[in-house]
Copies of this chain bind each other. A is one copy, B any other.
Amino acid sequence: MLVFENDYSFGAHPKVLEELCKTNMAAASGYGSDGFTASAMEKIRKAIDCPDAQICFLTGGTQTNQVVIDCLLKPYEGVISCVTGHVNGHEAGAIEHSGHKVLALPHHEGKLRAEDIRQYIDGFYGEEAFEHMVFPGMVYISHPTEYGTLYSKQELEELRAVCDQYHIPLYMDGARLAYGLMSERTDVTLQDIARLTDVFYIGGTKCGALCGEALVFTKRNMPDHFLARIKQKGALLAKGRLNAVQFDALFTDNLYEEVGAHAIRMAALLKKAFADKGYPFHMDSPTNQQFVILTDEQMQRIAHHAVFSRWEKLPDGRTVVRFATSWATTKEDIRALSEIL
A residues adjacent to B (C-beta < 8 A): 1, 3, 5-6, 8-12, 14, 17, 20-21, 23-30, 59-67, 70-71, 74-76, 78, 89-94, 96-97, 99-102, 126, 128-129, 131-135, 205-206, 210-211, 224-225, 227-229, 231-239, 241-242, 307, 309-310, 313, 328
Contacts and interface: CB of A to CB of B under 8 A. Distances in A.
Given A3-B27, A242-B211, A234 B10 contact: no
A133 B310 CA distance: 16
21 contacts: A5-B27, A5-B30, A9-B29, A17-B21, A21-B21, A59-B211, A60-B238, A74-B225, A75-B229, A76-B224, A76-B228, A76-B232, A78-B96, A90-B129, A90-B132, A93-B134, A93-B232, A96-B134, A205-B238, A210-B242, A234-B235
Copies in the complex: 4
A211 B96 CA distance: 28
A192 B89 CA distance: 36
B233 A25 contact: no
Contacts of A30: 5-6, 8-9
A126 B29 CA distance: 20
Contacts of A75: 70-71, 97, 229, 232
